Amino acid sequence: MAELPIAAVVRIAKKSGAERVGSDAAVALVAQTEEYIAGLVKEANKLAMHAGRKTIKEEDIELAVKSL
């Protein structure tokens, strides 16, 4: 079951230029987005732990984005 609301992801897609988003595409977009976020958080968590912290900070996210 998806954690992100499909409607919110469709809204983002439309704001990004999509005229219409099919229901199957919306489900796939949510799944891929959740997978990307999970990978990003895993990498950011590694960076935070390496810095001796349990809390992920903005800088960890920014570095994680660059490494993916």
Domain count of the chain?
Answer: 1
Reported as a single tens digit per residue, the pLDDT across 26-60 is 999 999 999 999 999 999 999 999 999 999 999 99
d(CA 8, CA 2): 12
Supply the pLDDT for residue 27: 96
Is position 1 within any domain? no
Supply the pLDDT for residue 2: 80
d(CA 42, CA 45): 5
Is position 49 within any domain? yes
The structure's pTM equals 0.88
d(CA 55, CA 44): 10
Give the amino acid at 35: E
Domain containing 33 equals 6-67
Two tokens, residue 27:
């489900």
Two tokens, residue 14:
């439309």
Is position 12 within any domain? yes
